[in-house]
Structure 1
């Protein structure tokens, strides 16, 4: 970006009008072994016998039609555009850009001028600073890291009763290679004052109302987290210029925490002397309960805290849910991924008998901190028939995934039940 023959202005591909009005998504039927089986089987985990979450009442998943994106992605909302990645499409060590989930809060810019893009740090600093992307590249060490980015509402569809918001299963996550500069290096260049307590992040996306100047989302983090050397201001994703749909030409990556703090199309970080109060902060926004509340009960906002480190999670990425295997198959080769917010994964266990017995998976080390950890396992089954494969990760604090989504909250954050898929042999 911004060098040689690389175009300095690029477009989103579809205009907002095209995206929202004509053919941005195509409905497909759901059936065993289709993309629909993943979503429906996972949605059933959220409902006890006799209950059914809203996701089950759909005729089938809406599959994404978007330039450069895999058509296997499932659309959860089209204003703003939100699409998740079925677990079986997350089988790569590094998530390809085409398979990376989409989560927008406002209206993305349709075109951007990379050479003129500016990023500002101001507020509780000794000297406010402003940099173009070219200046960021030349003035600070460039780094590439493979980092998990996960929506705070990932797993929301597993709550019962249903929580508000996009009904994510496990697909609001991806682990790409990001290239940029450390946010901490740029903050140090501005000189963070001792009075600094929090950051506020601002992007160039427009509000869904279309009202000029109205901010769609502005979240932030405590200054200690902001200074983590793993936070990046990135301009490249998987070795290519960062696509507009993923926040290009410049975005924040704050790994381990809800992706809502990783501002897309970032233009400003405001260093503040108090907790940030932008849209998306306070109330029940991106917040979980302090003391457990009655599911579906009355909300007491005093009983909520910000969701910070994301909970431990593992998924089965191969085989896909609904896979049919040949008669006589007696060994299942399993693959998956696991991650744990600010922590690391200690081990992953898998079961084919509803949790009666467990097999320890082989866990690969992360490439760097905040990378996900891939796992493999080989399990034997006694006969042909229907089998469920469960995966359960445990983090370095010995916290394991629960059997069902725990700690219900009205906006459905932090749900991380064990992943379950089904296969049929014979």
Structure 2
């Protein structure tokens, strides 16, 4: 997870010039990425997006990063960039865009990057929107002493804006609301909480983000599982 400034052409502008037919529902992107994955050879990489997301004005056919031409190691000279979606949807080394009335039939939309059904009555769902997630950055062991105030801080992100982050200093037994900065574009958001350790020894810090719709990070094993780290509190 990171923050950069992308430059390019809005996919919505290209689609409006192309004039998709009635009934179009997806945009399929293909790229030069190829090779062996999961013991099978794939001659190219292919993903799809809902047409509504492609038209929302944020999805880019990217040509630049941080003011410089997009290098090959970052998927240049042209790649798709889909803010708010997992990176697997931002096809590198872009070769074509196709508007379709159905999803791609490629392996990376039918077999891979699909979340399994939650129960027997459900169906697999595409790995598209970023689920709420957060990461602790500080404090680190060397700066944590009993009886002295320290700042716990980190980053939070999601497809929707993050509206709250809870922090725990006892491994998730109790939680306290942290301060969260507002979001600019799709950049991550900083959260902070002051803490004064009252005892020497090991403390398990944890954080969990909640987005605007009320979804939060789970404690169960998932890609956005609640993040924890161990901090050792010492005498000064």
CA drift of 1:277 comes to 1.1
Which residue in 2 is equivalent to 1:344? Answer: 161
C-alpha distance in 1 between matches for 2:71 and 2:152: 32
Deviation by residue 1:290-331 (Cα, 9 ceiling, x = unmatched): 3347xxxxxx9x8412122121111112235xx333644532
1:191-244 superposed Cα distances (whole Å, 9 cap, x missing partner) = 1111322121111234349xxx96332011121221121101112222222221
Q: TM-score, normalized by length of structure 1?
A: 0.51
Partner residue in 1 for 2:5:
177
2:82 and 2:61 mapped to 1: Cα distance?
Answer: 9
Unaligned runs of 5+ residues in structure 1 are 1-172, 294-299, 407-414
Residue deviations 1:107-154 (CA, integer Å, cap 9, x gap): xxxxxxxxxxxxxxxxxxxxxxxxxxxxxxxxxxxxxxxxxxxxxxxx
Distance 1:263 1:303, change over 3 A: same
* 1:197 alignment partner, one of 25, 28, 35: 25
Q: Return the structure number with greater strand share.
A: 2
Residue 291 of structure 1 is aligned with which of 94, 101, 118? 118
For residues 161 and 220 of structure 2, the distance between their equivalents in structure 1, rounded to whole angstroms, comes to 21
Report the CA distance between 1:358 and its aligned residue: 2.0
* Aligned residue in 2 for 1:313: 133
Residue 187 of structure 2 aligns with which residue? Answer: 371
Structure 2 residue runs without a partner (length 5+) = none
Look up the SS of the partner of 2:183 in the other structure. Answer: coil
Change (3 A) 1:181 1:324: same
Report whether the alignment pairs 1:222 with 2:50: yes
Q: SS at the partner of 1:337? A: strand
Label 1:243 to 1:319 Cα distance change in 2 as closer, same or farther (>3 A): farther
The answer as to 2:60 corresponding to 1:243 is no
The number of residues matched between the two structures is 231
**Contact 1:324–1:423, Cα closer than 8 Å, also in 2:** no
Tell me which of 84, 88, 109 is aligned to 1:260: 88
